[in-house]
Amino acid sequence: MRNYKTTIARAVTALVLSTGIGTAAAQGHAAATQAAATRADIVETALGAGQFTTLAKALTAAGLVDTLKGPGPFTVFAPTDAAFAKIPAEKLQALLADKDALTRVLTYHVVPGRVVAAEVKSGSVKTVQGQPLNIRASGGSVRVNDANVIKTDVMASNGVIHVIDTVVLPN
């Protein structure tokens, strides 16, 4: 009986794939996944990505979680856990313990409005913190100060996240 069920399952799978229904279903699933992601705010989207645990810890320590869960829209240049790991451990711990300094650093990663990759141009853009970020777009790559943008257009309900490989620091 088990072999019979396996044979039927394989035949149905082959039929679905050969008729393109599988492709449509996969595309529908991808669209549903993107729609669900778009309903999540910036904080939920970052937490769901699994590579921003240090950023989440820092946002909590600075008291900025509610702000980034707000209506926005925001553009966040989000450093990964690996980006935070570039900071010596004692300096990172000191930063996490200094709420004012931490707030200045984190708000330096946020730009008001929703700026998608197609809209990014070289120049400077004023951050929520008040100081400008220097943007260099060239040949399909983008740098924010000394950080490389390694993934763009992670959409959220209240903005967009661009993933960077280095924590950028204000002057």
The reported pTM is 0.77
If asked whether residues 106 and 138 sit together in one domain, one would say: yes
If asked whether residues 11 and 54 sit together in one domain, one would say: no
The CA distances from residue 44 to 23, 31, 35, 65, 66, in Å, are: 29, 18, 14, 10, 11
Residue 38: pLDDT band with limits 50, 70, 90 = low
- Residue 169 within a domain: no
**Residues 55, 57, 59, CA angle at the centre, nearest 5°?**
65
If asked whether residues 23 and 82 sit together in one domain, one would say: no
Q: Which two tokens stand for residue 130?
A: 């008040």
If asked whether residues 140 and 92 sit together in one domain, one would say: yes
- List pLDDT tens digits, range 8-25: 333 333 333 333 333 333
Average pLDDT over residues 27-54: 70
If asked whether residues 26 and 47 sit together in one domain, one would say: no
Q: Is the pLDDT of residue 136 over 70?
A: yes
If asked whether residues 82 and 115 sit together in one domain, one would say: yes
- Residue 171 within a domain: no
If asked whether residues 131 and 99 sit together in one domain, one would say: yes
Average pLDDT over residues 30-43: 60
Q: Is the pLDDT of residue 4 over 90?
A: no
pLDDT at 163: 97
- Residue 142 within a domain: yes
Q: Is the pLDDT of residue 27 over 80?
A: no
CA count, 13 A, side-chain hemisphere, 72 = 25
If asked whether residues 65 and 116 sit together in one domain, one would say: yes
CATH of the domain at 81: 2.30.180.10
If asked whether residues 30 and 85 sit together in one domain, one would say: no
pLDDT at 139: 84
Distance from C-alpha of 81 to C-alpha of 68, rounded to nearest angstrom: 19
Average pLDDT over residues 26-43: 55
Backbone angles phi, psi at 30, to 5 degrees: -60, -40
If asked whether residues 8 and 35 sit together in one domain, one would say: yes
Q: What is the β-pairing status of strands 123-126 and 141-144?
A: unpaired
Number of independent structural domains in the chain: 2
If asked whether residues 57 and 127 sit together in one domain, one would say: yes
Those residues with Cβ within 8 angstroms of residue 149's Cβ, 6 or more apart along the chain or in another chain = 77, 117, 141, 142, 143, 162, 163, 164
If asked whether residues 157 and 123 sit together in one domain, one would say: yes
- Residue 170 within a domain: no
Radius of gyration over every alpha carbon of the chain, rounded to an integer in angstroms: 21
> Which has the higher per-residue pLDDT, 22 or 101?
101
pLDDT at 49: 87
Residue 55: pLDDT band with limits 50, 70, 90 = very high
How many Å from the N-terminal Cα to the C-terminal Cα in the chain? 71
The whole domain housing 18 covers 1-39
Q: Is the pLDDT of residue 37 over 80?
A: no
- Residue 24 within a domain: yes
Distance from C-alpha of 4 to C-alpha of 8, rounded to nearest angstrom: 6
Distance from C-alpha of 18 to C-alpha of 10, rounded to nearest angstrom: 12
pLDDT at 84: 96
Q: Is the pLDDT of residue 78 over 90?
A: yes
Q: Is the pLDDT of residue 30 over 60?
A: no
